[in-house]
Amino acid sequence: MPLGMLNLFIEFETNQNSQMKKTVLLFASFLIIAAAWADEGMWLPMLLKNNFEQMQKLGLKLTVKQLYDVNHSSLKDAIVWFNGGCTSEIISGQGLLLTNHHCGYEAIAKHSTTADNILDNGFWAKSLDEEKVNTNMWASVLVRMEDVSDRVNKALDSIDVKNRDAEKLKLFKAIGMEAVMNTHYEASVKSFFRDNAYYLFVFEKFTDIRLVATPPQSIGKFGGETDNWMWPRHTADFSMFRIYADKDNNPAPYSKENVPYKPKKFLNISIKGVNEGDYTMIYGFPGRTNRYESSFGIKSAVEKINPAIVALREVRLTEWKKEMDKNDSVRLLLSSNYAKISNYWKYYIGQTEQLKRLKVYEERKDQEQQFIEWAKNKPEYASIIPNLEKAYINYNVYALHAAYIKEGILGSSLISAAIKYFSLEEALSLEKPDAADIKKTADALKTLGEEFYKSFNAVSEENILAEITQMYNENIALGQQPEYMTMLLKKYKGKTNKETFEKFSKDVFKKSFMVSKELSQQFLEKPDLRKLRKDPAFVYAKAFYTNYMEKIKPNIDAFEDINSSEGSKYMKALMEMQPAKKFYPDANSTLRLTYGNVKAYSPKDGVDYKYYTTLTGTMEKENPKNPSFRVPDKLKELYANKDFGMYAGKNGEMHTDFISNNDITGGNSGSPVLNGNGDLIGVAFDGNWEAMSGDIYFDSKYKRTISCDIRYILFLIDKFGGAQNIINEMTIIKN
């Protein structure tokens, strides 16, 4: 993670700033809603009473209090925010967690060596003592959420627009600290409906998380990139961890003395099976949606941002794959990094394709024209669309640059590492350097290096640096580039651009101490300002950082201010314009519930997809020559003998995955799929290709959530992994 002042440089996101007065009355008016489509919307659990009647009609058997209750145990106590990017669920009274294989992938890969390759061979702890300790992993359980809209709005009403962001952050921090005073909890305040409402979330965060089980990646990632985002699927995308706590059941750092966590609530598991039309609800922490994006934002994404992200990520994926294919050791070291960026590389391809197919830009333009007509006699709203259009015209001049910095320049692992040395340069360059501060900063860099160099492959990174620098030079306007680029082109002359940048990159990797763990550790033992400032990787990083901060970021910031302010007013105005429409808040990594039904679909003429797949399909896809479609011998043996135990379907088949029309997005990975009784029937892990527009536009016809059938997961734990001890922990509801 970047430090303090580098956050805006590295994480380019649009902040949604409040620029107007809000009222609790308005907030209440747009929260008293029910779904326009049963499957659309990610609902705040505290407000589910507004959807309850619709949920009952679809098949819910529980009460509102059983879904969410602050004072008594409820389903929300079994839903866990997993490591900041995924969801997991507690499935036993001993803190056993179930999530996706790709959510646990980094931990699994770190525990894998050529001597003990659990990534390829799988792992099944047969006792607590065998469970594997993880560092830098956490799991948080929501304690409560609280509406703080009135307090925030009143405090911000008198704040000048220019100071609003800073004051808002101070206020959020104050509210959070007040909420957890004299407790071990953590808290944060989040914005909803584009700064028209605010909620406080209080969590209990655990950091002693241990790996319990994982199938081999030939099962957990079956189909690889070929099947990613596709239906039909036959993937068992799951892994298992356990929360540990101290003797008083409170969060504590890792210790041998810690014991399995005793949760307020854990999920029962149903193996009764899944049928078309069955009620499904998914509880989890969806990351981010932008369902109220303007036509201008959609056009920018489709024409500029998405294609750039795809092209830049493809460079890393291609170069890493070349080295990964050469030997198993490199493959294991790079596999986690590869998996991190490959998923959304394909996603951006699909999102662009589906936004075009659905003509979302055209639809939003029509909606905005209707809004203009409605607002022309309302001075407070009449300028919103013109202001947004003007802001995007200015932003589009710099939008590509921002993408190239984040996905290109910082896509180079070497340059990303070099940026972390900025804090050391600052400490060394003080008029009176503080030796203790320098040592502390250097030691922190040593610690980061211990982890960084484990997955640093110099051969692929040298090629990546050459290619992304060449792409930057060819695609970013000359007037926006740092002077460094002119000097580079003058110094390194090749017959072709490719040769020029290959020469440059080779020189950087030959001369920089940052390309080697040993050399970097030697430097950090005796940090030297002059040597640091002469290092070619550092010089490169500093040049691009300074250029971005001085030439580009002010323009991006100006756009963000206008986009957030006008976007907030637009959200408020839309709800006034369409009082009968059912609005719901965008996802923002807070606990949500979505509901719908198991449902098949027909994406195009002559194609009809069933709502489930079976192990037969796995065997049909098997291809020993393709790593993505290899099937372990033991699984083939179990299939041949039809040894499915109590997990087989009514017709004797082993069901693998199923689809439902629930509304999910990134962050829902690992979320529990529950039936009307609140029992676990599957684990969500993907969306479908035909509805890749989902973060911006919900396609009510084609949107599907792909989930692994819980029966397949239990079958693999029991029959394939032989971990009956894990099965015995769970409460299983049988036929």
- The catalytic residue positions are 102, 237, 669
Integer Cα distance of 164 and 423 in angstroms = 28
Looking at this protein, which amino acid is placed at residue 140? S
The one-letter code for the residue type at 514 is: M
CA 666/CA 286 separation, integer angstroms: 6
User: Looking at residue 716, what DSSP letter applies?
Assistant: I
Rounded to whole angstroms, the Cα distance separating 261 from 246 reads 8
Residue with tokens 């106590």: 77
Closest CA to 375 of 567, 563, 576, 580: 576
- Exposed, middle or buried by CB within 10 Å (0-12, 13-18, 19+), for 411? buried
319-328, long-range: CB < 8 A, 24+ apart: 319/460, 319/461, 319/463, 319/464, 319/467, 320/457, 320/460, 322/460, 323/457, 323/459, 323/460, 328/114, 328/117
User: Chain centroid to CA 149: how far?
Assistant: 27
The pair phi, psi for residue 455, each rounded to 5°, is: -120, 20
Q: How far apart are the first and last CA of the chain?
A: 48
Amino acid, single-letter form, for residue 262: K
Q: Write out the H or E segment, with its range, that includes residue 732.
A: strand 732-733
Is residue 661 within 8 Å of residue 79, measured between CB atoms? Answer: no
Token couple for 619:
């065997």
Calpha distance 682→714 (Å, rounded): 10
The residue among 563, 557, 586 whose CA lies nearest residue 12 is 557
- Rg of the Cα trace of the chain? 26
Question: Do residues 671 and 684 make contact, with C-beta atoms less than 8 angstroms apart?
Answer: yes
Residues 669 and 598: their CA atoms lie apart, in Å, by 18
